[in-house]
Structure 1
Amino acid sequence: MSTRDEREGVTPTESRREQKFPGLWANPNYRIFLVIQTLSALGDSFSYVAIPLLVLQSTGSVVQMGLVTGLTGVASIITGLFAGVIVDRLDRRRVLMAADWARCLLFALIPLVWLFATPMWLIYAVVPAAGAFMMLFRVTYVTVVPAIVEPGQITKANGHLFGTYAAASAGGPALAGFIASAFSPAAAIGFDSATFALSAIGILFVKIRSARRNTTDTGDEKASVRGEFLAGLRFLWAHPVLRPLTALLSLLTFLTYGLTDLIIFLVKEDLGRPDSTVGFVLSAGTLGTCLASFAVARVRERLGFGVSWIGAFVLCGTAVLCLGLSESVVVVGVLAAAMLFCTSVAGTCSMSLRQEVTPSHLLGRVTAAFWTTHSALGPLGAAAVTAAAAGVGVTATCLGIGVTVVCVALAGVLTGVGKSRPGRSAVQGV
């Protein structure tokens, strides 16, 4: 990458004339990987439903449900601190397989043991451990996408992956609930285990281009795990687009992390609707992610990264403003879909940019550092947003969040995000 290109955030592919590549669907590695990611996402969505149901069935305690969920989140964050180092040091296909087999075996323990006893200590041991391997898998899969598709196809591929994740998130919980109701939550967890086994087997058939490790990029830090993690942070800080992007997204995550809670509170308390209506509203919201998966590549190609990312969050903030003024469940569902459409477009664009501008041997550490940094304020934001809603009401809270999101997004115009021009990825033959 030339010095000028690096300043502007332009990828090597985009600084040359667009190249024609075979379509994504003609790439067998991509097709298999898409199926694998769908199975993995389906397994994750099963866990979100089956584990809390099993805890509630076994203990009748909402507190213990929350404790298991909290421990899983802590395990994921801690794993994120060193997952990038593992991914960049080891063979990435083996890491994906190890993460899937580990989750398969861990979740298989629960239905097997539940045939004879119901020891809650097993849940507290297994679920956080599975959460750690889930984070490891997610960091690895981000690094694998550029190694199985051509550079100009990364945004389109990520759009497909986001779409499959949304579909799994919409259909997985319903299927998990059906299996848990018809058989038992433990049986649903057993099905979850099987999806990870199928995913691990599928990875055997995916050819992944190896990342050539350049030790000179980490200098005297190369022998230290701490130093290698700092290499990811250092790359983020040095890049003129990723540095402000990380800072802006940290603020936006703080503001938007609790929006789902606000929607639930709005539908149940302010509009007085039952739990079933909440489910329909949230399911409608996932349609926004599905639509984004089809639109994001064209949006970024036509508008460029900066306009796409900033514009998506400006529209998201506007939707939050309208949410505070809404008195109709249908409108709330539409606005929820609009918000997820916008955040999915922005998320796909930012992930694609990281994959394009980061050297392959650093991508795991940069991904882990990026996720850990920008998501750190999320739980605090959720607590602040729900406290504000309880204190001043949903309407005032949504108005405040919406205005602030728009202002933070527009501030990006003054940074490297607004000045970047990495939007000319060639997506051809798809």
Structure 2
Amino acid sequence: MTITGQPAAPASLGRSRGFNAFWSAQILSVLGDSFAQLAVPLLVLDATGSIATAGLLTGVSGTAAVVAGLFAGVVVDRCDRRALLIGADAARMLLFAVIPLVWWLAPAPPVWPLFVLLPLAAAIGMVFQVAAVTAMRGLVPGAELTRANGRLYAGGALASVVGPALAGAVSGWLGPAGAIAVDAASFGLSAALLTLVRLPRRTAGAAEQGERTGPWAEFLAGARFLLRHPVLRPLTGLLTVFILLTYGMDDVVIYHLKHGLGQSDGTVGLVLAAGAAGTVTGSLAVASLRRRFGFAACWTGAVALTGVAVVALAPTRRPAEVGALLLVYFGCLSVGGICSLSLRQEVTPEHLLGRVTAAFWTIHFSLGGLGAAAFTWLAQHHGTTLTFALAGTGGVAVALAALFTAVRRAAPA
């Protein structure tokens, strides 16, 4: 098998230089992504004045990421994961660096290169994300995976808040192309940090050698593992229903604040910042909560509380009330998400971790777009009160359903 780094056991979280470098690189990657989320639409609007073109570009890039996700697991499980992480960031640096060059050198820059460069960057980004999840097992001991994932979530949440603000400031100073140039530099710095990461030696076991029965079997190996595992099977199903209910909740909350409560854009930003604070708080608290209450109580309780918070949004009439409930909602959302991610990392065999991660994400997000479309339509035509009540009740029902499955075990084997 491929050897990545030096054959050493993972160091504890506090003493792991590799994890600290990895954590910093992840924050830079999230920062770069948040720069692009603002700078790319501004660039398209400056060039064409068409929001439809910007939306089409977002859709094409999202489709490219989903398609890449189908194959990312096989690639990650069969290649040097450290090299993949470094190469993915280096490739994204080059792709994003081309955009400002085209914009600065061409008298009338064409938009079509964006439809090539950005979908490629999105596909490579998906490979990076799958590889990052698998790398965690080699960076920290299994007992510290939940705490390590919490630190990653917290850092990512802060970067996603700071990123758009910085992108707006840089766009005002250097223009959207300048902001994308900074985005490219962030990926280059992330790649440099990842060179400090060393992963343990990976050896080919008998199970892995016997598993190589063909490309199609390798492709389906992750999905088969999820469907056969007594805990991950119901957990994946429950989370897929849960995302159907919650994927479009951000849009519904913004609609409620703008059209229901008549608030300004600045107030909306402050309320969403409270949600980001909840994400950070939940991410930092999840390790202690899981250690004290166990997986089942921690995950089920977090899902139930997200549903209660959404139901409680229905009668809100003041922005402060919405902000307080969003803090609870996003805090519990991060607790549940980190618990489920850590469990998959703990129980999945090393040689399958990439494919299981990719299969889970493909299944998990399959209904997200449908849920977002349905609940935003419901909010527009029948009001946010009914929307919050239905979505929140559904979240509580998901938590109750978990009590009748193997998820109710405190420490699933």
**Which of residues 199, 204, 209 in structure 2 aligns to 1:208?**
199
Structure 1 residues 138-147 or 277-286, which shifts more?
277-286
What amino acid sits opposite 1:47 in the alignment? A
Task: Determine if the alignment matches structure 1 residue 156 to structure 2 residue 113.
Answer: no
Q: How many residues are paired up?
A: 402
In 1, Cα distance between the equivalents of 2:377 and 2:20?
A: 45
Tell me the C-alpha RMSD between the 2 structures: 1.4
What amino acid sits opposite 1:156 in the alignment? R
Task: Determine if the alignment matches structure 1 residue 89 to structure 2 residue 78.
Answer: yes
Q: CA deviation at 1:419?
A: 2.1
Report the counterpart of residue 312 of structure 2 in structure 1.
322
**Which of residues 363, 378, 399 in structure 1 aligns to 2:368?**
378
* Counterparts of residues 119-134 of structure 1 (less than 5 Å): 119-134=110-125
**Which of residues 258, 262, 267 in structure 1 aligns to 2:257?**
267
* Counterparts of residues 271-350 of structure 1 (less than 5 Å): 271-350=261-340
Report the counterpart of residue 97 of structure 2 in structure 1.
108
In 2, Cα distance between the equivalents of 1:327 and 1:342?
A: 23
Give the 3 Å change call, closer, same or farther, for CA 420–242 of structure 1 in structure 2.
farther
SS at match of 2:105: coil
**Which of residues 20, 28, 37 in structure 2 aligns to 1:48?**
37
Task: Determine if the alignment matches structure 1 residue 27 to structure 2 residue 16.
Answer: yes
In 1, Cα distance between the equivalents of 2:217 and 2:36?
A: 34
In 1, Cα distance between the equivalents of 2:320 and 2:209?
A: 53
Q: CA deviation at 1:360?
A: 0.9
Give identity over the alignment, percent. Answer: 48
Report Cα offsets for 1:14-35 as digits up to 9, x if no partner: xxxxxxx964121111111111
Report the counterpart of residue 191 of structure 1 in structure 2.
182
In 1, Cα distance between the equivalents of 2:301 and 2:101?
A: 50
Report Cα offsets for 1:94-123 as digits up to 9, x if no partner: 110111011000000000111122110011
SS at match of 1:286: helix
In 2, Cα distance between the equivalents of 1:218 and 1:168?
A: 41
CA contact (8 A) 1:218 1:228 kept: no
What amino acid sits opposite 2:64 in the alignment? A
**Which of residues 159, 167, 189 in structure 1 aligns to 2:158?**
167
Report Cα offsets for 1:184-214 as digits up to 9, x if no partner: 0000000000011111111111111133333
Report the counterpart of residue 396 of structure 1 in structure 2.
386
SS at match of 2:342: helix
Q: CA deviation at 1:218?
A: 7.3
CA contact (8 A) 1:306 1:417 kept: yes
**TM-score, length of structure 2 as denominator length:** 0.95
Where in structure 1 do 4 or more consecutive aligned residues deviate above 6 Å? none
In 2, Cα distance between the equivalents of 1:55 and 1:276?
A: 24
CA contact (8 A) 1:306 1:419 kept: yes
Report the counterpart of residue 417 of structure 1 in structure 2.
407
What amino acid sits opposite 1:160 in the alignment? R
Task: Determine if the alignment matches structure 1 residue 39 to structure 2 residue 28.
Answer: yes
